[in-house]
Structure 1
Amino acid sequence: MLALLERGPMYGYQLRVAFEESVGGTWSLNIGQVYTTLSRLERDGFVVALPASEGGQRPYELTGPGRTELASWFATPLERTDRPRDELAIKLALAMTTPGVDVAAVVQSQRTSGMRALQEYTRLKVRSDKRAQGDLSWLLVLDAMIFQCEAEIRWLDHCEATILRDRPAPAPAAQPAPAADREEAKS
């Protein structure tokens, strides 16, 4: 929100539209979350609400402390611990320890989904490259999605190889005893 408000005062709906345009519509933003965030930013002194327009929209403006916070955010690298947990890694870890789950099928299903997504992202990239290069922010987001998808597929390949290598060999099925032995066992 702070980065968007650096462009100039905006009200909630404008912020939502500006965000979605910046990321090429990849991630949607809930309008309720926009206003909740604006309230928190106002409480913290990073933005100030301006008088409402004739249409009733209340624009927000970035403050000096807001600019300082924004500069700090851009200058501070994300820590790995700050990232959301990886639901796929959790899913595979649980699949490995849950009886009756075909882990290889879980891996293959995810890989298939990842390959479809990668193909779609690549198609979008080709179309985007043919358009004017003016939408560089969208191209960078699209590149990030492609690289993340490629990394996920590579990781899934690694998981599958590890599972196949380290999976205990199935116990041989019990062979029925020859008929003569069965007769002796009965007596």
Structure 2
Amino acid sequence: MSVKHALLALLEQEPMYGYQLRVEFEQRTGTTWPLNVGQVYTTLSRLERDGLALGAGEDAEGHVIYRITEAGRDEVASWFTTPVARTQPPRDELAIKLALAVTVPGVDVATVIQQQRSATMTALQDYTRLKRQATGTAPAELAWSLVLDSLVFGAEAEVRWLDHCEARLRRAAAERADQAPAAVVAPEAERSTR
């Protein structure tokens, strides 16, 4: 996730201080990806260093107000019109867990899959329930609804992938079972021909 670009997009609407940016980001994404306020201020420092935003004074309470620069506007416009690259997929903890479970002796991979499927189905039900409640058309409500759509589709895809993994493991076990008797018979056949 590009916190940098998300903050720039918010600053394009109006100048804000760090905590305001954090609140706006979390409201628009339904707190799906909470931001640490320290991360917000670190990102703002980098944006300022790179000439994409600038601290433009303080409000009455002493908060530094940040404004987007023209270079920042160009950057956020480019971000919105550039597709998200799929060449470097994000780390997927579940895929890593299953890849290791298959290769580590003694791990009951079927149980790992079943427990994950159950957890994912619970999450899918929760997302679906939230989706039924998110019916507004105001921009913030629409934004949250789109995030929920992504979560629902992601959970559905994960369940399908887990089903696929389970089927692949069954096929692999059957193939190993079919090959095992042939390996046992072959040495006996060799002894009888001597």
Normalising by the residue count of structure 1, what TM-score does the alignment of the two structures yield?
Answer: 0.87
Q: CA RMSD in A?
A: 1.4
Q: Please identify the structure whose Cα radius of gyration is greater.
A: 1
- Seen in structure 2, the aligned counterparts of structure 1 residues 82 and 70 have a Cα distance that, compared at 3 Å, is farther
The 2-side partners of 1:119 and 1:152 are apart by 14
Unaligned stretches of 5+ in structure 1? Answer: 173-187
Query: Where has structure 1 moved over 6 Å in runs of 4 or more?
Result: none
Q: Distance in 2 between matches of 1:65 and 1:58?
A: 20
* Map of 1:84 onto structure 2: 90
Residue 115 of structure 2 corresponds to residue 109 of structure 1: yes
CA deviation vs aligned residue, 1:131-162 (integer Å, no higher than 9, x gap):
x3221000000000000000000000000000
Question: Residues 53-68 of structure 1: matches in 2 within 5 Å?
Answer: 53-68=59-74
Quote the residue 2:190 is aligned against: none
Deviation at 1:169, TM superposition (A): 2.9
1:146 to 144, 147, 152: 152
Matched, 1:40 2:26: no
2:66 & 2:26 partners in 1: Cα distance? 18
Deviations 1:53-84 (A, max 9, x none): 22110010000000000011111111113432
What residue is the counterpart of 2:106 in the other structure? Answer: 100
Structure 1 or 2: larger helix share? 2
Note the C-alpha offset of 1:52: 1.3
Q: Distance in 2 between matches of 1:82 and 1:169?
A: 37
Q: C-alpha separation between the residues in 1 aligned to 2:103 and 2:32?
A: 34
Structure 2: 5+ residue runs without aligned partners?
A: 1-6, 182-194
Residue of structure 1 in register with 2:57 after alignment: 51
Is it true that 1:25 corresponds to 2:31 in the alignment? Answer: yes
- 1:185 aligns with none
Query: How many corresponding residue pairs?
Result: 170
Identity of matched residues, %: 61
Q: In structure 1, what is the equivalent of residue 177 of structure 2? A: 169
Aligned counterpart for 2:137 among listed residues 133, 140, 154? 133
Write the distance in 2 (CA, Å) between the matches of 1:159 and 1:141.
27
**1:83-126 deviation digits (Å, cap 9, x = unpaired):** 32111111100000000000110111110000000000000011
Could you tell me how far apart the structure 2 residues matched to 1:143 and 1:41 are? Answer: 31
Matched residue SS, 1:27: coil
Q: Secondary structure at the match of 1:66?
A: helix
Query: What letter is aligned with 2:177?
Result: A
What is the TM-score with the length of structure 2 in the denominator?
0.84
